[in-house]
Amino acid sequence: MVNETNQVLTKDELVKEAYPLFINGEYIESANGAYFDVHNPATGEVLAKVAKGTKEDVDKAVEAARTAFESGKWPRMTAAKRARLLIKIAEIMRSRFNDLVRVEVLNTGKTVAAAQGQITQAIEDFEFYAGTIQTAGGQTNPMPNGFFNYTVKEPVGVCGQIIPWNYPLMMAAWKVAPALAAGCTIVLKPASYTPLTAYMLADICHEAGVPEGVVNVITGSGSEIGPYITEHPGVDKVAFTGETETGKDIMARASQTLKRVTLELGGKSPNIVFDDCDIDGAVDGSLFGIFYNTGQSCEARSRLFVHENIYDEFMEKFIEKASRLKLGDPFNKEVHVGAVISDSHEKVIDGYVKLAVEEGGEVLYGGKRPEGPEFEKGHWYMPTIIGNVTNDMRIAQEEVFGPVVVVMKFNDEKDVIRQANDTIFGLGSAVWTKDYGRAHRIASAIRAGIVMINSPISAFPGAPFGGYKQSGFGRELSVETLDLYSETKSVVSYVGSRPLNIFGL
């Protein structure tokens, strides 16, 4: 666990003044020598300066990764040896748990409890793939007499990995761990808002013994170097987590060189509460489902459907408990909801709330920046509950990516399934009921990659994570993720006793 606030290392002891690029095992200046500021969202203060990479720097990073892949030892190591290095990475991360948590909180404004859970999972991701890679592999297949066929799994190559700002280290682990396990090399592009723990991860990989050039970190403008990584002919695969529109652009650019692509994109996940549920459990789970991580989650359950028979009772408890959620200093262990990432994003959230009211919605709780001296600096928004909403309103269709939930009544299982599926997205969903027959009917009918039954949590190493429709494709966090970082080679051998004479000559 993290120490009490006054015992944790100060910012200056953990955060460097400046972060150059990490390429080929060393820190180097960007081609133009430029830096940009990285801030603490909870205070607005500058944490560090980070190198503003250029296309020329991307070329260097890709060249380092390509050389490490084509002629280095990493892709040629046995799975067992790579597994040992993944375990070593996890061990170092665990030994620096408090430091990683501290920097993650400083750089994201999320609560210390949220950071603890996310970094614990990041560590477990490396442990999971260390075990998985040792049993993954090819197979033999039945062939006609005289023929023998086997398949082998080989690394796909150089991987461009573009990660979001909402779960910086955890999302990096979701991508880096399986890529390393498969034998790939990496050019990692963290979000400009939150790059600091990506650098710490690169340092840890280097210390663990991952060879030079295997893990490279480049920071800079997402609109400039992100597309360049995606289009780069030296990159074999792109993995991206972020907005759906950006994902569409990445898919289009990657298609020019037929790159492999994994996309984990936006969501507008339904949360369905039936009248036979454990109401208190459903209230608590629904609060967590939308207000965890300040609602800045692609899987946030932001559309709440409540059966009309329990609507009044449920909403009374839901609003009352929401009013007891504490905002403030993310290092205060009594705080439940942290800061939002930036001033511009705070304005986006507030704009959606105002739009909801214009559309006829009613703010039942929140709907504004919190008041008080501790909120004079930084970027904040209250947990917000909006009623009198219909599923065709923009607030019910577009991803807000903040602590805002819309609430709708229903009285019919068939109709709530229709409304739940009436969205361009299909990432997460949840259902609360004591009738497990109904629960599994809902799970079957919902067009989403993830369904939670009486649970607010879905992301565990081993449980595939990914979406349907415009929430992307490909699955992370699971055994099948290794296939996304691998090529399958089929080897066919003739072992018959008589020579083949196909043409009869």
Choosing from 264, 299, 346, 399, the catalytic residue is: 264
Distance CA 77, CA 134 (A): 12
- Rounded to 5 degrees, φ, ψ at 197 are -75, -20
Distance CA 435, CA 249 (A): 42
Structure token pair of residue 497: 């006793």
Residue 173 buriedness (CB in 10 A; 0-12 / 13-18 / 19+): buried
Structure token pair of residue 52: 């503003």
Distance CA 382, CA 368 (A): 6
- Sequence-separated (6 or more) residues with CB below 8 Å from residue 293: 110, 114, 166, 167, 300, 338
Strand partners, 154: 487
Tell me whether strands 303-307 and 404-410 are parallel, antiparallel or unpaired: parallel
Pick from 249, 330, 325, 243: which is nearest to 284 by CA?
Answer: 325
Sequence-distant contacts of 314-318: CB under 8 A, at least 24 apart: 314/273, 314/279, 314/282, 314/283, 315/364, 315/387, 315/407, 317/279, 317/280, 317/283, 318/283, 318/286, 318/287, 318/385, 318/407
Residue with tokens 């019919």: 412
Q: Please say whether the beta carbons of 132 and 180 come within 8 A.
A: no
- State the SS3 of 222-261: HHHHHHHHHHCCCCCEEEEECCHHHHHHHHHHHHCCCCEE
Q: Please say whether the beta carbons of 226 and 203 come within 8 A.
A: no
Structure token pair of residue 280: 């208190």
What is the separation of C-alpha 189 from the centre of its chain, rounded to a whole number of angstroms? 13
- Sequence-separated (6 or more) residues with CB below 8 Å from residue 144: none
| CA end-to-end span of the chain | 77
Instruction: Count the Cβ atoms, other than its own, within 10 Å of residue 447.
Output: 16
Answer yes or no: 476 catalytic: no
Q: Any idea which residues carry the catalytic annotation?
A: 264
